[in-house]
């Protein structure tokens, strides 16, 4: 047999071995998530604030948006008809409707971009103690079940709810947030618009 034909099996073996080793190299690594959340203009997301006065000036609300550094106390709003994470397991009589399926698909489609934090702070301007119930907190960043649901305030006191996390992305530097609060059986709804804090409103930088 010609020496050339004797080399053919070794060439095939070497080719197969190199192909196998290349396949064992693992999947390509994904690019790391950016450490800085970018706004819609491609620049780092600025601090954004919205303010409002409720119940004839007895209560002030402030919403703050900034970059998230952790999961915080986020709890998504429950899907109507399905038990929440703190509820008992569902029984056999739970019916999954098309609306529930659409809502679950919508939540799974959240983008993997860096998260942002939303904070709601309530401040009492009343002379008597207040017990405020947070009914609704909804925007393009998500529909949130604010925790705690009720906040007790003494005169002049400020209380901040747990941070809320959104991964839906900031697409505008003006974000309307619908806030519904209840006090003494009276319900009031306002739309507070998150906007960047102006440089003039920021404290001067100490050298």
Q: What does the pLDDT look like over 52-63, one tens digit per residue?
A: 999 999 999 999
Residue 185 or 28, more confident:
185
* pLDDT bucket at 94, cuts 50 / 70 / 90: low
Q: What are the start-end ranges of the H helices in the chain?
A: 3-23, 98-108
* Among 145, 147, 202, 143, residue whose Cα is nearest residue 178: 143
The Cα angle at residue 121 between residues 116 and 126, in degrees rounded to 5: 170
Residue 138: the pLDDT is 95
What digits encode the pLDDT tens for the residues 120-143? 999 999 999 999 999 999 999 999
Residue 28: the pLDDT is 42
First to last CA, the chain: 86
Q: What is the DSSP letter of 60?
A: E
Residue 132 or 68, more confident:
132
CATH classification (class only), 48-85+97-198: mainly beta
Residues 6+ apart with CB under 8 A from 161: 119, 120, 121, 122, 134, 146, 147, 148, 151
Give the C-alpha separation, 12 to 171, whole Å. 55
Element (H, E) at 189: strand 186-196
Residue 100: the pLDDT is 63
Residue 67: the pLDDT is 79
Residue 87 or 165, more confident:
165
Burial of 171 (0-12, 13-18, 19+ CB in 10 A): exposed
Q: Minimum mean pLDDT among 26-35, 129-138, 182-191: which range?
A: 26-35
Residue 108: the pLDDT is 53
Residue 200 or 90, more confident:
90
Give the C-alpha separation, 80 to 94, whole Å. 11
Is there a contact between 174 and 194 (Cβ–Cβ < 8 Å)? yes
Residue 33: the pLDDT is 44
């Amino acid at each position: 047999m010609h020496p050339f034909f004797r080399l053919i099996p070794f060439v095939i073996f070497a080719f197969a071995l190199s192909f196998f080793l290349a396949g064992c190299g693992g999947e390509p690594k994904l690019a790391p998530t950016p450490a800085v959340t970018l706004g819609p203009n491609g620049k780092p997301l600025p601090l954004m604030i919205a303010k409002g006065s409720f119940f004839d000036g007895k209560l002030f609300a402030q919403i703050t948006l900034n970059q998230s550094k952790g999961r915080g106390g986020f709890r998504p709003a429950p899907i109507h008809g399905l038990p929440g994470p703190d509820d008992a397991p569902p029984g056999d009589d739970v019916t999954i409707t098309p609306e529930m399926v659409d809502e679950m698909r919508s939540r799974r489609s959240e983008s993997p971009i860096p998260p942002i934090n939303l904070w709601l702070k309530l401040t009492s301007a009343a002379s008597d103690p207040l017990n405020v119930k947070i009914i609704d907190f909804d925007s393009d960043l998500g529909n949130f079940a604010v925790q705690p649901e009720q906040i007790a305030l003494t005169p002049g006191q400020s209380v901040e709810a747990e941070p809320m996390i959104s991964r839906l992305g900031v697409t505008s530097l003006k974000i309307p947030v619908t806030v519904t609060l209840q006090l003494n059986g009276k319900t009031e709804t306002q739309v507070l618009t998150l906007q960047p804090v102006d440089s003039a409103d920021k404290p001067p930088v100490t050298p």
